[in-house]
Amino acid sequence: MDSLIILQHSPVYTLGRRGDVHNFLFSQNRETEGLLKRGGGAAQSAENPANMGIGRAGGSDFHHIYHSIIHANPDYSESSDASLLFHPSNSALLLRVDRGGDVTFHGPGQVTCYPILDLSGPGYKKDLHWYLASVEDVVIETLGEFGLRGERDPRGTGVWVGGRKIAQVGIGCSGWVTKHGFAVNVKKSCMPYFGEIVPCGIDEKEGGVVCLEDVIGEELDIATVDEAIRRSFTKVFGVEMQT
């Protein structure tokens, strides 16, 4: 069954396959590289998910887990996708993950989305370039609902507004089933965490990152953005949500 997981993480920094540990700014005065290790993956659990079905006419079912909060479990199980590194000073968990890209942050104040799609199924394409562009289109469509023009940028994947990155995209795929996904910076409360890293390898001199609340100049509710993402996702991928 295809799935879309939309959630807010507890604070976590992730390092992609091509990530540079020196983009963790808090590593400059710590023995960071000695602490990095590969090994058991961090087991995670979702608290009190509410479920919503989505389907494509004549196609496969689609499942949406609404507003789950993901917490790292202190008991680590074996996994190839994520391995525990260490805890920085702000208590955010730090993980190495099996996705493209560099260093990023996920946490409260962001909407993080994990599409799990079988690209060999009806209505999709077995083409990762198409899939990546479609994910970015979901974000661009979402920003349009708030009167913003989202743009791609040659510096990397994701979506920018006014030269600053507002959404991070990092995908993975195994057997044409997608994993990982994208995150939209919504609330000002998530921004201080980015000060501990060079997000996606892009520093402030190159524009840095921004959140929706800063761009539109007013407070936003996470649920409002969640709903806009769901509408945009159904439009871009041609699926239907079912309660």
Helix pair angle (128-144, 222-237), 10° resolution: 130
Residues with Cβ within 8 Å of 113's Cβ and at least 6 positions away in sequence, in order, are: 4, 5, 6, 7, 138, 181, 182, 183, 184, 229, 233
Contact 14, 24 (CB under 8 A): no
Cα–Cα distance measured from residue 240 to residue 114, given in angstroms and rounded to the nearest whole number: 17
Any catalytic annotation for residue 200? Answer: yes
Phi-psi region of 193 (alpha: psi -120 to 50; beta: other; left: phi over 0): alpha
Q: Both tokens of residue 109?
A: 């104040």
Phi-psi region of 181 (alpha: psi -120 to 50; beta: other; left: phi over 0): left
Name the active-site residue from 113, 173, 190, 200. Answer: 200
Contact 225, 138 (CB under 8 A): no
Any idea which residues carry the catalytic annotation?
200
